[in-house]
Every structure is written in structure tokens, then in C-alpha cells.
Amino acid sequence: MTNTKVSTLVAAIAFSLAPAIHAHDGGSGESPAAMPHYYVAAPLAGGVVTTYVTRTKADDRKGKKPLQVGIEIPAAVMNNLPSTPVAMAIDLPTSARNTPFQYMMLDWNPNGHEPAGVYDKPHFDFHFYMQDLEDVMDIKPGDCSGLNCDDYAKAMKPLPAEFAPEGYINVGSVVPYMGNHLVDPASPEFNGKLFTRTWLYGTYDGEITFYEPMITRKSLVEDGNQCSSLKLPSAYSKSGYYPTKYCTQYDERQKVYRIFVADFVYRQQPQ
């Protein structure tokens, strides 16, 4: 791809994502700072969604290896989702502690969000957060692309090259109470195809702060059993088990949808 085409694509993505700065806050009309915060299970659509971890049975010197870290959504909930947006934070079980993830921030967007024609389908945003929730809630709105100007400077701070995921770029998609979103310009939705599912990385103050699959309800219901490999950095700032894939799965027996990260590999921080 020529430099001109790359520049044009980056500009188009930046323009299309910029209006979304208020779309990820849940849109409930309440301050995201008052977002409901639950432990492991949370009420949704007359049912309960539950975060979970599965691990190997045997310990190694790094502890039990995680197999899956994710969330279960009952089919009854999936079939009764509200017509208004929902945002909530749900803690992960303590058995996730040898991964970087602390909690999930779940957003249900019944009308999607900007940009029109790209992410305006009913979909979920599943944020696997590494950053303390209190620090996330301190990323305030303001006059610099929608953020407080000091927070904007931190949100736009680049990752060290070795910690930057392969192929992902900063297009200034900053959001209050979240931070920045790095995008993959090779994703199908930026190349003439419909958005069904995609993967973003969240950053703030020069660090990756969350992993985010965005998945349409239609894709979960109609094509629920699939996995995708992640584009990864070459190094990690903190030691721990990190996923290399994300997956969705429908369990016919239990009548639940699972959205999870998997295929964990232990990464050692640079000495």
C-alpha cells in the first residue's frame, strides 16, 4: 500500500471514529462515574450475566494456567435485550489474578454507535480491563477532542514500540471514562465489508489498558462458534499470562453464549 493510500485510510478512520467519543459511555443519561459495579454476576434483561475463569488443574511455578477468561450471557437474556443502552462493570473471579485482567466493562448498544454505516449495528462492547476502575473514571470529559486536556495528552501518549500491537494505529479515538482506542486498518469494516466483530486495544498514558472485542448480536446468535487470533505486541510491560485468541461459543446444553479470551501464553516483562 502506498504512503498516500495509508494516509488517506488513516484520515478516513480518524474522521469516522471521532464522533463516537460519547457513544461508548453507555448512553444511559447517567454519569459513567456512577456506572454499576458488580462482582462476578450482574443483572441484565431479566436474567444474570456472569464472568468466569477456567484453568488447568495442575499448578506450575507460575500458578494454574488460565484456559478461558470471559463472560456468559444466557440465551434468555440475549433474546430479551433492552432497547436502551446498558453499561456496567463486572469483576472477574480472583482466579484471573495471574492474567492482566481485573474486571469487564460490558456495554450493550442496541442502536450501535458512530460512525454511521460502520458500527451502527446492535452490538456489544466487551472491555477486558487492566486499569483500575477508579483511574478509568478519572478520565474526564473536556475541551480537547471531548476529553479534559490533561487526560487527552495522556490518552494520546504513544505506546513504546515493543509494547505496540502489530498493525494497530492511533487515530485519536478518545472517549471519556475509557481512554484511547487503537484500531486495525486491515479490519473488514474499514475495507468495504459489514461489521460483524472486531478487536480494539485501549491505551492510556503510554500503556495498554484494555482488550476489546466488539461483536454484533446477530453474529453471536447466527455464527456463535468461532475464534480469531490476535495481533500482538512483541513484548509485555508486566509478567503474566496473556491471551492469543478471542472466541465466542454457544453452549446448547446450558443455553448460554460465552465470549472469552483464550490460548494463554506466559510473558515475561523485560528485565
pLDDT at 215: 98
Query: Which pLDDT value is given to residue 23?
Result: 32
Q: What are the mean pLDDT values of the chain's consecutive 10-residue runs (271 residues total)? A: 34 38 34 67 97 86 86 98 96 94 97 89 98 96 97 98 98 95 96 97 98 98 96 96 98 97 95 80
pLDDT at residue 222, rounded to an integer: 96
The pLDDT, as a whole number, for residue 242 is 97
Full-prediction pTM beyond 0.85?
yes
pLDDT of residue 26: 33
What's the pLDDT score for residue 83? 97
Q: Which pLDDT value is given to residue 125?
A: 98
pLDDT for 239: 94
Q: What's the pLDDT score for residue 62?
A: 72
What is residue 234's predicted lDDT score, i.e. its pLDDT?
A: 96
Kindly provide the b/e burial profile for residues 56-89, where b requires at least 16 CB atoms within 10 angstroms of the residue's own CB. eeeeeeeebbbebbbbbbbbebbeebeeebbbbb
